[in-house]
C-alpha cells in the first residue's frame, strides 16, 4: 500500500527505493491475527502550561493475537540497541522467550499508566482464578512537543487504544504513542512495514521441524525519536548536514536520491 488510510503518501509513494519485497499492506498487520490500535491526544497550542498543554501524545496498542486471543502468549525476544529507555515485561521475555498479552507504547512519564491499564483491561476481559500479567509497555520521550509533566494519558486512553485495535491497513505519522516524536530534527511519528524474506537450510543443519526452503514474513512497528540532522540518511543515499543552515549534500553510493524526495526536502 502506497497511502495510509488517511490518504498520506508513504515512502515508496514518493519514490524512496527501499530494499525488499513488502507484504500486501507493507505493515505489521500482514501477519494474520495481529491488531493495532491508537489513541491520539492533540489539544491546545502556544506557550506550555504544565497540566494544561499543549498536549501532543498518545498510546499505541499492539495485540499479537487480537483482542479475542489477548490472553494467549506469543514467542518473543528482545535486543537493546540503546539502553536509555524503559520496557516493562522485558525480564520475563528474556527469561521465558514469551510475551504475555498486549504491547503498548506511550510517552516516558506515562509508561506506568499504560502498564497498569493493560492489566486492568486484561483482568476485566479474561477474569479467572490465577490470571496474572506482566505486560510489555515501551516508551519514548515526547517532552519537547508535549506537556509531558501534565500526565495527560489516562487509563481510558489506554482502553480506547486496546478496544479500537483492528487488523488491516493502519495509520502512520503523528498518531498514538508517536504523536509527539522528533527524529533527526524533523517531525517523527509511528510507522510500520513488512518484508517477504527467502531462506534456505542446508541438509547437514536441517531440523526436522524446519522446512528446507521457504519464505518468511517479517513485520514491524517502529516509533522514531533519535539523533541529530547531521546524521540523517535515507537508504544510504542522502545525507542531511547542517542543522543551522539546512545544507543538503548527496553522498556517492552509486545511486541518486529520487527527484521527488529532493523536491520535498527543499
Instruction: Tell me: do 174 and 247 sit in the same domain.
Output: no
The reply to whether 177 falls in a domain is yes
Whole-number Å distance between alpha carbons of 111 and 105: 8
The Cα–Cα gap between 119 and 135 comes to 7
Domain count, the chain: 2
- If asked whether residues 47 and 96 sit together in one domain, one would say yes
Judge whether 101 lies within some domain: yes
β 247-250/238-241 pair status: antiparallel
Other CB atoms closer than 10 Å to residue 250's CB: what's the count? Answer: 12
Q: Which of 187, 207, 237 is the last residue of a domain?
A: 187
Give the CATH number of the domain where residue 121 resides: 3.60.70.12
- pLDDT for 251 equals 37
Identify whether residues 174 and 255 lie together within a single domain.
no
How confident is the prediction along the chain (266 residues), in pLDDT tens digits per residue?
899 999 999 988 888 888 888 999 999 999 999 999 999 999 999 999 999 999 999 999 999 999 999 999 999 998 887 767 899 999 999 999 999 899 999 999 999 999 999 999 999 998 766 678 899 999 999 999 999 999 999 999 999 999 999 999 999 999 999 999 998 788 899 999 998 887 665 555 554 445 555 555 665 666 565 656 666 666 655 444 433 333 334 333 334 444 444 444 44
Residue 202 lies in a domain: no
Same domain flag for 39 and 150: yes
Q: Are residues 173 and 244 in the same domain?
A: no
- 135, 245: one domain: no
Structural domain of 234? 228-266
SS3 (DSSP) at 211: coil
Same domain, 37 and 118: yes
How many Å apart are CA 243 and CA 184, to the nearest integer?
A: 9
Name the residue among 88, 111, 113 with its Cα closest to residue 101. Answer: 88
Q: Is residue 16 part of a domain?
A: no
Are 180 and 235 in a shared domain?
Answer: no
Which residues make Cβ contacts (< 8 Å) with residue 136, sequence separation at least 6?
A: 76, 87, 88, 89, 90, 93, 99, 100, 101, 103, 104
13 domain residue, yes or no: no
Burial class (CB in 10 A: 0-12, 13-18, 19+), 95: exposed
- Tell me the whole-structure pTM to 2 decimals: 0.81
Over residues 91-127, the pLDDT tens digits come to 999 999 999 899 999 999 999 999 999 999 999 998 7
CB 43 within 8 A of CB 77: no
Last residue of a domain, one of 136, 160, 187: 187
Do both 46 and 107 map to the same domain? yes
In a domain, 200, yes or no: no
- Give the position of cell 482464578: 129
Would you say 143 and 214 are in contact if contact means Cβ atoms under 8 Å apart? no
Does residue 235 belong to any structural domain of this protein? yes
Q: Are residues 133 and 36 in the same domain?
A: yes
Residues 90 and 182 placed together within one structural domain of the fold = yes
Specify if 131 maps to a domain: yes
- Domain boundary (187, 220, 241) is at 187
Same domain? 182 vs 232: no
CA distances, 237 to each of 171, 185, 240 (Å)? 27, 18, 10
Q: Collapsing DSSP states into helix, strand and coil, what is residue 50?
A: coil
Q: Can you spell out the DSSP letters for 98-115? A: EE-S-EEEEEGGGHHHHH
Crossing angle for the helix pair 111-125 and 155-163, nearest 10 degrees? 60
Where is 125: in which H helix or E strand? Answer: helix 111-125
- Residue 256 has a pLDDT of 42
Cβ–Cβ < 8 Å for 35, 166:
yes
Amino acid at each position: 500500500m502506497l497511502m495510509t488510510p488517511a490518504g498520506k503518501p508513504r515512502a515508496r509513494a514518493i519514490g524512496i527505493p527501499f530494499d525488499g519485497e513488502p507484504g500486501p499492506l507493507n505493515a505489521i498487520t500482514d501477519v494474520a491475527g495481529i491488531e493495532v490500535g491508537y489513541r491520539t491526544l492533540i489539544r491546545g497550542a502556544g506557550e506550555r502550561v504544565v497540566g494544561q498543554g499543549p498536549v501532543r501524545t498518545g498510546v499505541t496498542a499492539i495485540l499479537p493475537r487480537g483482542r479475542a486471543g489477548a490472553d494467549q502468549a506469543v514467542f518473543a525476544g528482545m535486543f537493546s540497541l540503546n539502553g536509555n529507555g524503559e520496557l516493562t515485561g522485558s525480564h520475563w521475555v528474556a527469561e521465558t522467550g514469551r510475551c504475555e498479552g498486549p504491547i503498548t507504547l506511550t510517552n516516558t512519564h506515562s509508561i506506568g499508566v499504560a502498564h497498569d491499564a493493560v492489566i486492568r483491561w486484561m483482568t476485566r476481559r479474561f477474569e479467572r482464578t490465577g490470571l496474572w500479567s506482566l505486560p510489555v509497555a515501551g516508551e519514548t520521550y515526547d517532552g519537547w512537543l508535549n506537556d509531558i509533566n501534565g500526565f495527560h494519558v489516562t487509563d481510558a486512553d489506554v482502553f480506547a487504544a486496546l478496544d479500537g485495535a483492528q487488523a488491516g491497513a493502519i495509520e502512520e505519522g503523528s498518531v498514538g504513542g508517536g504523536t509527539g516524536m522528533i527524529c533527526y530534527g524533523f517531525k517523527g511519528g509511528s510507522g510500520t512495514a513488512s518484508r517477504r524474506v527467502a531462506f534456505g537450510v542446508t541438509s547437514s543443519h536441517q531440523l526436522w521441524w524446519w522446512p528446507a526452503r521457504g519464505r518468511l514474513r517479517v513485520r514491524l512497528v517502529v516509533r522514531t525519536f533519535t539523533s541529530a540532522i547531521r546524521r540523517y540518511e535515507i537508504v544510504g543515499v542522502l545525507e542531511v548536514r547542517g542543522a543551522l543552515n539546512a545544507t543538503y549534500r548527496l553522498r556517492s553510493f552509486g545511486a541518486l536520491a529520487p527527484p521527488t524526495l529532493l523536491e520535498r526536502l527543499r
